[in-house]
């Protein structure tokens, strides 16, 4: 980028002199509306996180409420189920990164290779369908398919005389179930971002490669994939930043009492603890802050590592 | 142009072999895995409770009924829901897009003082948020509760989308911008004449994402709006479905007509999906690359 | 002449006093706007122009109504968010419970709710009378030193007893019970039910075939059936005979319930995938498909006839094949803790306009009176119902008329626990002539036998000391989802010995949550 052209220019570009700022005034005007929104609607409420160290008293307001130090955190950590749920969350989401994350990339790559216009459009539409189904519905479909009286068991019974298996009630089947259903539901939708990135690749590169006599697999590997690499890297780093969150609806709806030991994520733990009442804002703030800090550490670690290995990272 | 198309066509026939076959077969299997359960959803929405629960995987209802849709639409709330959601979409999505696009482009040009810091500050909001109470107090201070603007403004920029768009823009050839700047174009002119036309695929994508998010929005409306004549569609559907589920477990007295919850849910999903699926093909052409790569540019 | 004069005087004075009396009765209300939050508000429904009943109420009390619906699942968090932000509606329906008591006492101590004037009981005597029977109301008043919450009573005119029995009941197929040679009655112990279910599984009297589910229950109802019905303190702490608190999960009754559960699960008489059932699928199998022999579900007076009608319409079996019964533990006793005679509590914003507050109190007074309270469920007096010469309520609508119900279905969608109700429907249902008398009598009998088959040790009053405690330790311990935990033990066990082993290990693993609570409760 221009920033790194010469050391001198780099320094001068960052100088907070009026002249320099005036020179870039157009850019400030461009970013102003967006930043104003962030300042008001993201940064003012962020101070609410201070509740993690306070006891919220409505009459005294957010800022006037008394400090109570780390008491909220002590309460959070006192429950062994809390730490267990963190472990479960990381386990489930790390697996997601490994098994679910690559699939939309793959899907986008091969969809891009379909050379019949209409089927391509129809196929892509079909792949986005499941995104609109709620997990409640997906879960009930899964019961229809994988239940003891469901499709799979009927088939297995009919073909091999196998005894019906309760696929959804066996703890060791739970993680594969999560990943497969996640791919089923979201791969097509997530692929859209990659499809868009592919559309942005300069077509001249393909023409030149075609003239050079490259095969399609080669072009996929040497042009398309590198072309969307910045997008992949950024999405990967962001996904790292979500390792502690996400997936509540899915895990909640697909888990059941038989599999709860391997399924209770942090979100489900919080839901269980708070469902019967007591809306403790300080408790919620403490959990949220804890989660955010871990997410942040993971995200910036991922960003660092990418940069070390020659990637451009988030701040490209 | 003609010659090129011809060349591409012959090239196409020549090379329709293994790779195309494998890809197509794979995608068709994948599509089937998606379509079969999906047909089940559609069938359930047109089935009676008895039929839906008797068959292991209902694909074609023997006695189709529109009872579930009738129940759904009989409720006057649905109209309020459509009205409110349409309002949120029409006011909200343009604001989302303008904020996101200008910010994304502005922060690709990070050679101005404070740019990196600003980008970092934006990034942090993705990880930290203050929760619902501070947000509510803020909206109250601004006098926006009970107004549609609370819902619109509570969701301005999605940081994730902002980063995706910005990443896309950084991959655009720098030389185009530089030469335009040398020609004396202002940043705004560069944005409108060069960046936006080249960013159509990502703008279409982000537009779709924002529209779907807005379409699915209910939580902010529930917290901030507190009005009985302004309820987004998703909140209406949620209450309709909830009414028939949680109530019993709370053992509250009152008249209970047990309903076919799944039937209404699936009908609601079909009703919710349709508008998006109708818009989808129009946006799709922007992020689906042309078939004959060589032919497009000519 | 004198006589005429006297007569005129008499007539005049009578007219005058009648006029005065009438004036006193029909207060001249000045128009106000009242906002209200509750989950029972019909979302999107315009109460101001809605139906004749809401119009009647709004005209009589001359106010514009601005109701706010909160979805059931978000009820606590929404209302609390608004109260904590000091921006609640004029009137709110707060979901009081041992879990939300911490919030409530927080609201009170911070002055976020209105303290009712000390003379409110003399100004609104009928509301006060209902209030006195809710047990929660007076308890809280003593705790807070004033009234902040008015609980809505489940029962007032027809209170079955103290402690209050729950309506949850066995649903049984009496035709199948007869076919397998067992006695049809209105109470069974858990082992008796299991025996019947076993016979139904073996003989399949209804010729259902592979779809037959002898016992159809979802996870929550299975826990109620096997554990709650056998072990009074299955999910809480209790004060033992030695005056010390102990943990109910560790009692022999609980383990016995788990063993029964495991027996039913491992022999296949309980739906083998009961834990996958959501959205009342257990009910569906009994009521819609007719493939289940036993369920454990709601049995409110308002529903006992209605459920049977639906059963007959959907399955084609006779109404009478559907039997309601009380479930007793293996020891033959009915086990339950006081249901507590309230559901939802009315509260006001601290700076509520005096006229608004008084109007709502007047409205509640009206709906608690003999004049107004039948209307909350039966519609308009003189149109839908009336009282005969003996004061008995009589119905003026044809049988089967749906008075309350969804928009487009019921005659008055506004009927519900929104417009001023402080007495819930369980009560009037027992006198409601729109429900067949035989069913109301049946319901009374079901309530009665719960008292008959119980001892003060198995059917116990509320332990307010425990109920009103909300230390951090208790809060965490209350987060344990017992139905899920027990079910996890049952489904993962490979034999009864294994179940006991798992159960003991589980008890041990929870001690880090439980011991601190016990230490607090037993100083």
The pLDDT tens digits of the residues spanning C230-249 come to 999 999 999 988 989 999 99
In the prediction, which pLDDT does A3 show?
Answer: 39
In the prediction, which pLDDT does C403 show?
Answer: 82
Share of chain C above pLDDT 70, in %: 95
CATH of the domain at C309: 3.40.190.10
Same structural domain for residues C326 and C219?
A: yes
Task: Answer whether C401's CB lies under 8 Å from B228's CB.
Answer: no
CB pairs under 8 A between B and C: 135
What domains does chain A contain, in order, with CATH numbers?
84-279+297-308 (1.10.3720.10)
Task: Answer whether C236's CB lies under 8 Å from C466's CB.
Answer: yes
C-alpha Rg value of chain A to the nearest Å: 25
Q: What is the mean pLDDT of chain C?
A: 88
What would the pLDDT profile of C193-230 be if each residue is shown by its tens digit?
999 999 999 999 988 888 899 999 999 899 999 999 99
Residue of C nearest to B75 (CA): C407
Sign of the torsion angle spanned by Cα atoms A136, A138, A144, A145: negative
Of A124-133, A224-233, C216-225, C407-416, where does the model show the most confidence?
A: C216-225
Where does the pLDDT of residue C24 fall: very low under 50, low under 70, confident under 90, or very high at 90 and above?
very low
Q: How many domains does chain C have?
A: 2
A75 close contact with C: CB closer than 8 A:
yes
Please indicate whether residue B68 or residue B292 has the higher confidence score (pLDDT): B68
Instruction: Determine, yes or no, domain membership for C454.
Output: no
Closest Cα in chain A, distance from residue C273 (Å): 7
Q: Which two tokens stand for residue C332?
A: 């033959």
Instruction: Determine, yes or no, domain membership for C9.
Output: no
A84 close contact with C: CB closer than 8 A:
no
CB contact under 8 A, A44 and B110: no
Instruction: Determine, yes or no, domain membership for C145.
Output: yes
Closest Cα in chain C, distance from residue B245 (Å): 6
In the prediction, which pLDDT does A89 show?
Answer: 92
Whether A169 has a pLDDT exceeding 60, the answer reads yes
User: Cβ neighbours of residue A273 under 8 Å, at least 6 residues apart?
Assistant: A79, C475, C476, C479
Domain ranges of chain B: 2-65, 71-297
In the prediction, which pLDDT does C92 show?
Answer: 94
Where does the pLDDT of residue A7 fall: very low under 50, low under 70, confident under 90, or very high at 90 and above?
very low
Q: Which of residues 254-273 of C touch A (CB under 8 A)?
A: 272-273
Q: For testing the chain A interface, which of C275, C467, C474 should be mutated: the one with the most A CBs within 10 Å? A: C275
Q: Which two tokens stand for residue B269?
A: 């999903």
**Residues of A with CB below 8 A from B68's CB?**
none
In the prediction, which pLDDT does A278 show?
Answer: 66
Residue of C nearest to A278 (CA): C100
**Residues of B with CB below 8 A from A234's CB?**
163-164, 167
CB contact under 8 A, C280 and B248: yes
How far is Cα C161 from Cα C165, in angstroms, rounded to an integer? 7
**Residues of A with CB below 8 A from C98's CB?**
277
Closest Cα in chain C, distance from residue B171 (Å): 44
Task: Answer whether C334's CB lies under 8 Å from C326's CB.
Answer: yes
- Planar angle of CA A84, A90, A91, nearest 5 degrees: 85
Same structural domain for residues C423 and C516?
A: no
A202 close contact with C: CB closer than 8 A:
no
The domain boundary residue, chosen from C407, C429, C451: C429
Same structural domain for residues C238 and C275?
A: yes
Rounded to an integer, the average pLDDT of C410-427 is: 84
Same structural domain for residues C176 and C314?
A: yes
Residue of C nearest to B219 (CA): C74
Same structural domain for residues C177 and C307?
A: yes
**Residues of B with CB below 8 A from C417's CB?**
252, 254
Spatial CA neighbour of C519 closest among C249, C245, C251: C245
A147 close contact with C: CB closer than 8 A:
yes
Taking the CA atoms of residue C79, residue C80, residue C82 and residue C86 in that order, the dihedral angle to the nearest 10 degrees is 140
Instruction: Determine, yes or no, domain membership for C446.
Output: no
What would the pLDDT profile of B203-242 be if each residue is shown by its tens digit?
888 998 898 889 888 888 888 888 888 888 888 877 776 6
Where does the pLDDT of residue A261 fall: very low under 50, low under 70, confident under 90, or very high at 90 and above?
confident
Residue with tokens 């379409």: B215
Same structural domain for residues C346 and C417?
A: yes
The conformational region for residue B226 under phi > 0 = left, psi -120 to 50 = alpha, else beta, is left
Whether C428 has a pLDDT exceeding 50, the answer reads yes
Same structural domain for residues C249 and C281?
A: yes
Q: Which two tokens stand for residue C420?
A: 């001023």
Domain that holds residue C75: 30-160+341-429
Q: For testing the chain A interface, which of B4, B31, B279 should be mutated: the one with the most A CBs within 10 Å? A: B31
Neighbour tally for C261: CB within 10 Å: 27
Task: Answer whether A237's CB lies under 8 Å from A83's CB.
Answer: no
Under DSSP, the state recorded for C410 is S
Task: Answer whether C197's CB lies under 8 Å from C215's CB.
Answer: yes
Whether C19 has a pLDDT exceeding 80, the answer reads no
Whether C503 has a pLDDT exceeding 90, the answer reads yes
Under DSSP, the state recorded for C115 is P
Closest Cα in chain A, distance from residue C113 (Å): 12
**Nearest neighbour of A150 by CB, restricted to B19, B56, B186:** B56
Angle between helices B261-287 and B67-74 (to 10 degrees): 90
In the prediction, which pLDDT does B289 show?
Answer: 65
A74 close contact with B: CB closer than 8 A:
no
Q: What is the mean pLDDT of chain B?
A: 79
Where does the pLDDT of residue A6 fall: very low under 50, low under 70, confident under 90, or very high at 90 and above?
very low
**Residues of A with CB below 8 A from C478's CB?**
276
Same structural domain for residues C46 and C152?
A: yes
How far is Cα C185 from Cα B294, in angstroms, rounded to an integer? 83
Rounded to an integer, the average pLDDT of A83-95 is: 90
Neighbour tally for B298: CB within 10 Å: 11
**Residues of C with CB below 8 A from B74's CB?**
406-409
C-alpha Rg value of chain C to the nearest Å: 26
Same structural domain for residues C136 and C251?
A: no
Q: What is the mean pLDDT of chain A?
A: 82
**Residues of A with CB below 8 A from B215's CB?**
none
Beta bridge partners of C247: C237
Length of chain C: 523
The conformational region for residue C426 under phi > 0 = left, psi -120 to 50 = alpha, else beta, is alpha
Rounded to an integer, the average pLDDT of C38-47 is: 83
CB contact under 8 A, B167 and A231: yes
CB contact under 8 A, A58 and C83: yes
Whether C255 has a pLDDT exceeding 80, the answer reads yes
Where does the pLDDT of residue A99 fall: very low under 50, low under 70, confident under 90, or very high at 90 and above?
very high
**Residues of C with CB below 8 A from B249's CB?**
220
- Planar angle of CA A285, A288, A292, nearest 5 degrees: 135
Query: For the ranges A268-277, A303-312, B183-192, B253-262, which has the lowest average pLDDT?
Result: B253-262
Rounded to an integer, the average pLDDT of C482-511 is: 93
Instruction: Determine, yes or no, domain membership for C444.
Output: no
* DSSP per residue, C58-87: HHHTTEEEEEEE--GGGHHHHHHHHHHTT-
Same structural domain for residues C134 and C178?
A: no
Whether C460 has a pLDDT exceeding 90, the answer reads yes
User: Cβ neighbours of residue C243 under 8 Å, at least 6 residues apart?
Assistant: none
The complex's ipTM works out to: 0.82
Q: How far is CA C190 from CA A103, A161, C260, in A?
A: 51, 35, 8
Same structural domain for residues C36 and C155?
A: yes
A243, with CB counted inside 10 A (0-12, 13-18, 19+), is buried
What would the pLDDT profile of B161-200 be if each residue is shown by its tens digit?
998 898 888 888 778 878 887 888 887 888 888 888 888 8
What would the pLDDT profile of C87-129 be if each residue is shown by its tens digit?
899 999 998 988 889 889 989 998 999 999 999 999 999 999 9
Q: Which two tokens stand for residue C25?
A: 């009765």
Same structural domain for residues C188 and C290?
A: yes
Q: For testing the chain C interface, which of A258, A272, A284, A286 should be mutated: the one with the most C CBs within 10 Å? A: A258
Rounded to an integer, the average pLDDT of C325-333 is: 94
Q: For testing the chain A interface, which of C467, C479, C507 should be mutated: the one with the most A CBs within 10 Å? A: C479
CB contact under 8 A, A166 and C478: no
What would the pLDDT profile of B62-120 be if each residue is shown by its tens digit?
888 888 888 788 777 788 888 999 999 999 999 999 999 999 888 887 677 777 888 88
**Nearest neighbour of C81 by CB, restricted to B80, B136, B252:** B136
- Planar angle of CA A205, A209, A211, nearest 5 degrees: 120
In the prediction, which pLDDT does B4 show?
Answer: 44
C487 close contact with A: CB closer than 8 A:
yes
What would the pLDDT profile of A277-290 be if each residue is shown by its tens digit?
666 777 778 888 88
Rounded to an integer, the average pLDDT of B40-52 is: 84
What would the pLDDT profile of C430-453 be if each residue is shown by its tens digit?
888 888 889 999 999 999 999 999
Closest Cα in chain C, distance from residue A52 (Å): 15
Closest Cα in chain B, distance from residue C218 (Å): 11
Residue with tokens 């089937």: B32
What would the pLDDT profile of A112-126 be if each residue is shown by its tens digit?
888 777 788 888 888
Q: In which element (H, E) is residue B117 found?
A: helix B115-127
CB pairs under 8 A between A and C: 100
**Nearest neighbour of A114 by CB, restricted to B27, B41, B163:** B27
Q: How far is CA B162 from the centre of its chain?
A: 15
Q: For testing the chain C interface, which of A66, A138, A277 should be mutated: the one with the most C CBs within 10 Å? A: A277
A252 close contact with C: CB closer than 8 A:
no
CATH 3.20.20.240 at B71-297, yes or no: no
Rounded to an integer, the average pLDDT of A43-66 is: 82
């Amino acid at each position: 980028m221009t920033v790194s052209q010469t050391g001198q220019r780099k320094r001068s570009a960052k100088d907070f002199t009026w002249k320099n700022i005036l020179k870039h005034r157009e850019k400030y005007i461009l970013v102003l509306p967006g930043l104003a929104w962030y300042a008001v609607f993201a940064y003012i409420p962020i101070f609410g996180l201070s509740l993690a160290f306070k006891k919220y008293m409505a009459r005294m307001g957010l800022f006037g409420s008394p400090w109570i130090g780390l008491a909220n955190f002590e309460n959070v950590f006192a429950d062994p189920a809390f730490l267990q749920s963190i472990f479960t969350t990381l386990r489930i989401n790390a697996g997601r990164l490994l098994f679910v994350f690559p699939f939309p990339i793959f899907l986008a790559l091969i969809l891009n290779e379909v050379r019949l216009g209409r089927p391509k459009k129809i196929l892509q539409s079909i792949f986005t369908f499941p995104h609109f189904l709620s997990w409640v519905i997906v879960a009930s479909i899964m019961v229809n398919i994988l239940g003891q009286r469901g499709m799979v068991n009927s088939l297995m019974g009919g073909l091999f005389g196998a005894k019906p298996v309760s696929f959804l009630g066996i703890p060791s089947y739970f993680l594969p179930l999560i990943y497969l259903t996640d791919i089923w539901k979201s791969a097509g939708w997530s692929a859209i971002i990659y499809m868009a990135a592919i559309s942005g690749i300069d077509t001249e590169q393909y023409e030149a490669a075609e003239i050079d006599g490259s095969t399609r697999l080669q072009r996929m590997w040497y042009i398309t994939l590198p072309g969307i690499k910045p997008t992949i890297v950024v999405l990967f780093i962001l996904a790292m930043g979500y390792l502690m969150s996400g997936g509540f609806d899915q895990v909640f709806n697909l888990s059941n009492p038989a599999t709860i030991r391997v399924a209770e994520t942090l979100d489900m733990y919080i839901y269980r603890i708070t469902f019967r009442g007591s809306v403790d804002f300080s408790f919620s703030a403490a959990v949220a802050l804890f989660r955010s800090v871990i997410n942040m550490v993971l995200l910036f670690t991922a960003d660092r590592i990418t940069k070390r290995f020659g990637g451009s990272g988030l701040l490209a | 142009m003609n010659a090129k198309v011809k060349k591409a066509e012959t090239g196409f026939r020549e090379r329709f072999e293994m790779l195309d076959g494998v890809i197509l077969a794979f995608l068709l299997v994948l599509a089937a895995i998606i379509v079969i359960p999906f047909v089940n959803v559609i069938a359930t929405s047109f089935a009676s409770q008895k039929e839906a629960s008797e068959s292991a995987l209902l694909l074609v209802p023997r006695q189709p009924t529109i009872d579930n849709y009738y129940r759904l639409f009989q409720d006057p709330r649905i109209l309020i829901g459509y009205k409110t959601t349409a309002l949120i979409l029409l006011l909200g999505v343009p604001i989302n897009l303008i904020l996101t696009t200008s910010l994304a482009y502005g922060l690709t040009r990070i050679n101005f003082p404070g740019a990196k810091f600003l980008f970092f500050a934006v990034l942090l909001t993705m990880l930290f948020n203050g929760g619902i109470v501070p947000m509510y107090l803020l909206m109250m201070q601004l006098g926006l509760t009970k107004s549609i603007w609370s819902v619109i403004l509570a969701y301005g920029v999605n940081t994730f989308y902002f980063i995706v768009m910005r990443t896309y823009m950084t991959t655009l050839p720098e030389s185009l911008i530089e030469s335009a700047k040398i020609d004396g174009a202002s940043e705004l002119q560069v944005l409108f004449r060069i960046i936006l036309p080249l960013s159509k695929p990502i703008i279409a994508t982000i537009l779709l994402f924002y529209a779907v998010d807005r379409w699915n929005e209910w939580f902010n409306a529930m917290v901030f709006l507190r009005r009985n004549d302004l309820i987004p569609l998703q909140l209406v559907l949620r209450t309709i479905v909830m009414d028939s589920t949680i109530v019993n477990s709370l053992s509250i007295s009152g008249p209970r007509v047990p309903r076919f919850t799944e039937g209404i849910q699936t009908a609601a999903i079909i009703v919710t999906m349709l508008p998006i699926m109708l818009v989808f093909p129009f946006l799709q052409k922007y992020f689906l690359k042309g078939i004959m790569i060589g032919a497009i540019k000519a | 002449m004198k006589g005429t004069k006297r007569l005129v005087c008499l007539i005049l004075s009578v007219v005058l006093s009648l006029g005065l009396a009438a004036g006193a009765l029909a207060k001249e209300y000045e128009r106000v706007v009242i906002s209200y939050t509750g989950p029972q508000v019909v979302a999107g429904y315009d109460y101001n122009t809605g139906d004749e009943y809401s119009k009647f109420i709004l005209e009589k009390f001359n106010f514009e109504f601005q109701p706010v619906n909160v979805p059931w699942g978000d009820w606590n968090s929404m209302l609390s968010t608004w109260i904590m932000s000091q921006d609640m509606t004029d009137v709110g329906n707060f979901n009081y419970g041992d879990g939300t008591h911490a919030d409530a006492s927080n609201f009170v101590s911070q002055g976020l709710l209105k303290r009712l004037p000390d003379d409110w009981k003399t100004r609104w005597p009928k509301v006060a009378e209902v209030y006195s029977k809710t047990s929660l109301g007076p308890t809280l008043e003593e705790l807070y030193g004033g009234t902040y919450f008015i609980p809505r009573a489940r029962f007032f005119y027809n209170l079955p007893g103290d402690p209050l029995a729950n309506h949850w009941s066995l649903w049984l197929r009496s035709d199948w019970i007869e076919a397998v040679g067992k006695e049809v009655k209105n109470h069974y112990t858990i082992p008796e039910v299991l025996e019947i279910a076993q016979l139904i599984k073996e003989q399949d009297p209804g010729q259902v075939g592979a779809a037959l589910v002898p016992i159809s229950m979802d996870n929550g109802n299975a826990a109620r059936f096997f554990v709650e019905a056998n072990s009074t303190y299955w999910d809480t702490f209790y004060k033992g005979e030695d005056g010390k608190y102990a943990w109910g999960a560790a009692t022999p009754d609980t383990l016995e319930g788990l063993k029964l559960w495991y027996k039913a699960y491992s022999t296949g008489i309980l739906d083998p995938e009961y834990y996958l059932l959501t959205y009342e699928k257990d009910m569906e199998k009994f009521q819609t498909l007719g493939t289940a022999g036993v369920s454990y579900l709601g049995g409110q007076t308002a529903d006992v006839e209605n459920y049977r009608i639906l059963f007959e319409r959907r399955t084609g079996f006779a109404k009478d094949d559907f039997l309601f019964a009380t479930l007793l533990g293996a020891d033959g006793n009915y086990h339950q803790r006081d249901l507590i005679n309230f559901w939802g509590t009315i509260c006001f914003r601290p700076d509520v306009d005096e006229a608004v507050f008084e109007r709502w109190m007047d409205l509640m007074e009206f709906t608690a009176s003999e004049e107004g309270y039948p209307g909350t469920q039966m519609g308009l007096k003189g149109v839908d119902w009336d009282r005969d010469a003996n004061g008995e309520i009589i119905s003026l609508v044809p049988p089967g008329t749906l008075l309350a119900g969804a928009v487009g279905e019921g005659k008055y969608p506004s009927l519900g626990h929104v417009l001023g109700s402080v007495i819930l429907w369980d009560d009037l249902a027992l006198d409601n002539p729109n429900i067949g008398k035989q069913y109301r009598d049946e319901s009374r009998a079901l309530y009665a036998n719960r008292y008959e088959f119980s001892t003060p040790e198995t059917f116990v009053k509320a332990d307010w000391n425990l109920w009103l405690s909300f230390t951090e330790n208790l809060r965490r311990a209350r987060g344990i989802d017992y139905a899920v935990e027990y079910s996890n033990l049952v489904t993962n066990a490979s034999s009864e010995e294994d179940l006991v082993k798992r159960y003991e290990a589980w008890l041990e693993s929870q001690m880090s949550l439980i011991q601190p609570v016990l230490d607090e409760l037993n100083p």
